[in-house]
Amino acid sequence: MTRLHLFDMDGTLLHGSSAPREISRQLGLEAETVELDRAMSAGLIGPPEYAVRVHALWAELTTVQVTAAFEGAPWLARIREVWAEIRSRGEYCAVVSLSPSFFVERLTGWGAHAAHGSRFPAVPFTEPVDPAGALSAAAKVVVADQLCAQFGVSRTECVAYGDSLSDRDLFAAVPTSVAVNADDHLAGLATHAYAGLDLWDAYELVR
């Protein structure tokens, strides 16, 4: 039996941070993004409005800054080693995140079979973001089902890794889940829990 490992990114693969924060830090706009994060956490705005507003903040964003944000981000240790191990076992690994696609998709270069984020135009921006392309917690399950079809597995053969409210729907949809440095939103939902800075140790719980 093969399996599909589904990884959240912000707060999971990225410890204590998110792609929008790391990108905004390159522009000196981290405080503004933190406020947007708080507004979304409080339910004052949803993913579509968040995408439009953060896209406006990043009007001057360059590919050099995106690369610097990606390379300087606080990633967990041994992500690439975990994905190489998963591949060696004939299993699949994918990232599903609410963060911008242009950042998330870079993780295919680290060994993920697939990486899905909220759809953003390419950097540098020459067109607006489509709010309809913003992912939500419920949309993560839809993407997971599409990946299951792509790789020929069922939900029962999936393992989800996440840390927060945006992962609740996916944790409820699959039989095996790992809460990674998680907040209270996942309490009682995960089959395993890990606190630390090394993805291999989290992966070993379901290996």
Question: Does 207 score more than 90 pLDDT?
Answer: yes
User: Is pLDDT above 90 for 184?
Assistant: no
pLDDT of amino acid 25: 97
Query: How much is the pTM?
Result: 0.97
- The stretch 91-110 carries a mean pLDDT of 98
Residue 1 has pLDDT above 80, yes or no: no
Q: What percent of the chain has pLDDT over 70?
A: 100
Confidence of residue 186 (pLDDT cuts 50, 70, 90): confident
Domain residue ranges in the chain:
4-15+75-203
Count CA atoms within 13 Å of residue 55 on its CB side.
Answer: 25
Task: Please say if the pLDDT value at position 60 is more than 90.
Answer: yes
C-alpha span between 197 and 162 (Å, rounded): 14
**CATH of 4-15+75-203 among 3.30.565.10, 3.40.50.1000, 3.40.50.11030, 3.40.50.300:** 3.40.50.1000
185 pLDDT above the threshold of 90: no
Cβ(160)–Cβ(168) under 8 Å?
no
Its sign, for the CA torsion 8, 14, 18, 19, is negative
CA distance 99 to 131: 13
The pLDDT-based confidence of 41 (bands split at 50, 70, 90) is: confident
Mean pLDDT of 55-60: 97
